A and B are shown apart, each in its own frame.
Chain A
């Protein structure tokens, strides 16, 4: 069985500062990894995903994430945040075989301070 840990439930950061949202996963098999974003009063939407190949993945809105197999991590980063990045971010993992059983983390609320 797979699991996802997002240790930071809330991350406050000043506008234009860099940010890193941490995600660690556990799985006995190869995985696919995802970051979703949930803006206030909306559903989740995909930011980026890692399937294979380059471990540095670029997504929408200037976000990127790096897959680190040895540390079983998939941290999300942005070099300079904007007020509009205020949202909740969910890391998710699925096994690379079989059907779509996706496990979501508990979420990290990013609060961008003007």
Chain B
């Protein structure tokens, strides 16, 4: 089954404790992206990647890191999480970076930083 998977689905952590949210897609997609969803703000892009070893900042990159060492994986790293990073996070992928392509979303990771 073609899908985007994220782990963990739920995470409660404390301020300053480094964490990684994994994202993997099995569709051989070139483009991958991370979003955060907050009430009243919709989805905001954190980072995106056009292909292996090619990443760039989205609209709200502060406090996050990413890497793209393999085509299928695009982990999101919070080196020192803070309470304002409490949010619902989505990973997405699409066949190519072209702006007309549909994005396929993972099920989400709900992060709480205490």
Contacts and interface: CB of A to CB of B under 8 A. Distances in A.
B105 A100 contact: no
A43 B108 contact: yes
A53 B24 CA distance: 34
A34 B90 CA distance: 17
Given A43-B108, A45-B105, A32 B100 contact: yes
Contact of B102 (A42, A46, A97): A46
B42 A100 contact: no
A90 B31 CA distance: 20
B40 A106 contact: yes
Nearest to B38: A106
A43 B107 contact: yes
Nearest to A6: B42
B103 A102 contact: yes
Query: 3 closest pairs, A vs B, by CB?
Result: A43-B105, A94-B99, A106-B42
B50 interface: yes
Size category of the A interface is 20 to 34
A20 interface: no
B98 interface: yes
A30 to B, nearest CB: 10
B97 interface: yes
25 contacts: A6-B42, A9-B40, A34-B102, A36-B105, A41-B108, A43-B92, A43-B107, A44-B92, A44-B105, A45-B104, A46-B102, A46-B103, A49-B100, A94-B99, A94-B100, A97-B99, A99-B98, A100-B33, A100-B48, A100-B97, A100-B99, A101-B45, A102-B103, A105-B42, A107-B42
Contacts of B104: 45
A42 B107 contact: yes
A104 interface: yes
A51 interface: yes
A99 B90 CA distance: 20
Nearest to B107: A43
B66 interface: no
Given A9-B40, A105-B42, A99 B97 contact: yes
B85 interface: no
